[in-house]
Amino acid sequence: MSAINARAIQTSAEIISNKKIGAYHHMVFAVDSIGATARPGNFVAISVGGPSSSMILRRAFAIYRASDKGSAGGHIELVVAPHGQGSKWLTSLPLHEKVDMVGPLGTSFGIPTQPARTILVGGGYGSAPLFGLAEILKTRGCRVDMVLGASSAGKIYAPLDGKRSVTSMTITTDDGSAGLHGRVSDALPKLIEENDSEIIYSCGPMAMLEAIQSIADRYGLVHQASVEESMACGIGVCMTCVVPLRGDDGIVRMSRTCIDGPVMDGSSVVWNSKGIIPEGTWGL
């Protein structure tokens, strides 16, 4: 594994809670040292389907919250959308079942050394890593404005206890069934102007991240984006998760979102390449 995953372990993680909340399952796992070493933005890769399953690829999930305390020792929380075969299998498991888990994996969000005015933007289950981040930013004296968007009200994940970690919370839905009618990118400019935001943190679909980057460019803001590209191995071996990234030398290289990310400098990602390798990329 790369140095970025130096704290990662493989463990048999026991499910100690599994609750359906709206379109998602909030799941808690007992996880040995992962609870202590995980940072906001890291993810875990879980083996699905049981030992004789044909589903050979692990599934990646952002860590929603992590703790090294509690009656079950270290634990992590995930927010899982039962979507395809693997995530449906995972969310159907009963309490005390164990799953094979590797983590914490990938890069984490950078935390400002001085109190800063931050704005956190999540789309769908992309809100998952933002609540743990909000808690840390709040303890560092930062202003934390959060914007969560989804297609409809049931797909917003905004738990009551999570709202305590933010200065303000704005909800948007595509169909207008909760909060403002529209997308997170519609609400963002006004919030940035009102709160004089300095840093944007985001997690969600690629199109949302691209829209946020163009807003960050317009206002000259730092944008740390968690890029959740489809991942097969999750540990840097297979190259299925690559996105074009422009380095400080101006050269574009295909970079692995599983180990060079998922948290990346939004201004470095060549967002408009839409699944193609841009002209002039290193190695072409």
Ligand X SMILES: Cc1cc2nc3c(=O)[nH]c(=O)nc-3n(C[C@H](O)[C@H](O)[C@H](O)COP(=O)(O)OP(=O)(O)OC[C@H]3O[C@@H](n4cnc5c(N)ncnc54)[C@H](O)[C@@H]3O)c2cc1C
- As a whole number of angstroms, the distance between CA 87 and CA 81 comes to 7
Task: Give the residue with the Cβ less far from ligand X, 63 or 221.
Answer: 63
What's the token pair of residue 151?
A: 């297609």
| Contact between 123 and ligand X per CB under 6 A | no
Among the candidate windows 56-64, 69-77, 109-117, 138-146, which touches ligand X by CB under 6 A? 56-64
Residue 233 interacts with, from ligand FES, ligand X, none (CB under 5-8 Å by kind) = ligand FES
| Shortest reach from residue 132's CB to ligand FES, in Å | 23
Residues 233-272 close enough to bind ligand FES by CB under 6 A: 233-234, 236-241, 256, 258
Task: Give the residue with the Cβ less far from ligand FES, 72 or 233.
Answer: 233
Closest CA to 142 of 134, 153, 150: 134
Q: Give the chain as a 3 state SS string.
A: CCHHHCCCEEEEEEEEEEEEECCEEEEEEECCCHHHHCCCCCEEEECCCCCCCCCCCCEEEECCEEECCCCCCCEEEEEECCCCHHHHHHHCCCCCCEEEEEEEECCCCCCCCCCCEEEEEEEHHHHHHHHHHHHHHHHCCCEEEEEEEECCHHHCCCCHHHHCCCCEEEEEECCCCCCEECCHHHHHHHHHHHHCCCEEEEEECHHHHHHHHHHHHHHCCEEEEEECCCCCCCCCCCCCCEEEEECCCCCEEEEECCCCCCEEECCCECHHHCCCCCCCCCCC
| Shortest reach from residue 114's CB to ligand X, in Å | 29
Task: Give the residue with the Cβ less far from ligand X, 83 or 164.
Answer: 83
| Shortest reach from residue 279's CB to ligand FES, in Å | 23
- As a whole number of angstroms, the distance between CA 166 and CA 78 comes to 19
- As a whole number of angstroms, the distance between CA 51 and CA 54 comes to 9
Q: Which of 4, 38, 62, 134 binds ligand X (CB under 6 A)?
A: 62
Q: Which of 87, 108, 185, 197 binds ligand X (CB under 6 A)?
A: 87
Cα of first residue to Cα of last residue in the chain, in angstroms, is: 27
Q: Which of 77, 135, 145, 228 binds ligand X (CB under 6 A)?
A: 228
Residues 243-282 close enough to bind ligand X by CB under 6 A: 262
Among the candidate windows 107-115, 135-143, 199-207, 232-240, which touches ligand FES by CB under 6 A? 232-240
| Shortest reach from residue 191's CB to ligand FES, in Å | 33
Q: Which of 86, 149, 162, 179 binds ligand X (CB under 6 A)?
A: 86
Among the candidate windows 2-10, 59-67, 152-160, 243-251, which touches ligand X by CB under 6 A? 59-67
Residue ranges in contact with ligand X by CB under 6 A: 43, 57, 59-62, 78-81, 83-87, 125, 128, 228, 230-232, 240, 262
Residue ranges in contact with ligand FES by CB under 6 A: 231-234, 236-241, 256, 258
